[in-house]
Amino acid sequence: MRLPKKGSVENSSSGQNAPNAKGSTAANFKPFNLKTLDGTNKTLQDYANKVTVVSFFFPQCPYCNVEFPETQKIYEKYKDKGLSMVWINVLPEQEKLIAPWLEEHRFTVPVLVGAAMDSLSKNYQIKATPTNYLVDANGKVLYYVTGYKPGDEKLLEAKIAAALNTAP
């Protein structure tokens, strides 16, 4: 889904390598410094030395609400095999919706908040939600996808399994 301006909904899924500021392939994921729901600061370094999925979302995103139950299952399956995952809210005005949304869906993936949309768009090419990055233990982007269509989670899981050298 494109980020809401006037409320139009669009899905633009396209698994690819992550573009950098020049539009080619990015070698490394840009570091971040954001807060958890309880106000604790977290940085990309807190997820270092692990394969990590970083997903950009907002609680009322219809595509996120279809994809994230599947992503939660992937997280549960691989977290003891070296996978880390974090979801980053892209709409600060929906921050108050996150805790009840997590509880309602029984999501356990850590969530970060507090980023300004303009910096997220610039630093991470966020044009639609969900946007997922798969990053290796050294911060190198292994996979990038914007939007969601059914089946995208299978490709993400295959990429995760390959990065962890384990069977899906």
Give domain status of residue 18, yes or no: no
pLDDT digits (tens, 9 = 90+) for 34-89: 899 999 998 878 877 789 999 999 999 999 999 999 999 999 999 999 999 999 99
CA atoms of 8 and 21, how far apart (whole Å): 26
On whether residue 96 sits in a domain, the answer given is yes
Q: What is the pLDDT of residue 54?
A: 94
Percent of residues, the chain, with pLDDT higher than 90:
57
Measured distance CA(63)–CA(49) in Å, rounded: 30
Task: Give the per-residue pLDDT at 138.
Answer: 85
2 pLDDT more than 90: no
CATH number of domain containing 159: 3.40.30.10
| Mean predicted lDDT score pLDDT of the chain | 82
DSSP conformational letter for 11: -
Q: Bigger pLDDT: 45 or 160?
A: 160
In a domain, 8, yes or no: no
User: What is the pTM (predicted TM-score) of this model?
Assistant: 0.83
Instruction: Report the DSSP pairing between strands 131-135 and 51-57.
Output: antiparallel
Q: What is the pLDDT of residue 60?
A: 96
Q: What is the total count of domains within the chain?
A: 1
**Dist CA 158 CA 165 (whole Å):** 10
Domain that holds residue 73: 33-164
Q: Angle at Cα 72 formed by Cα 20 and Cα 143, nearest 5°? A: 20
Task: Name the band, by pLDDT with cuts 50, 70 and 90, for residue 21.
Answer: very low
Res. 137 pLDDT band, cuts 50 70 90: confident
Alpha carbons 57 and 35: distance in angstroms, whole number: 15
CA distance 167 to 2: 33
Nearest to 92 by CA among 37, 145, 23: 37
Copy the structure tokens of residue 17: 């390598």
* Structure confidence by residue, pLDDT tens digits, 121-136: 778 888 889 999 999 9
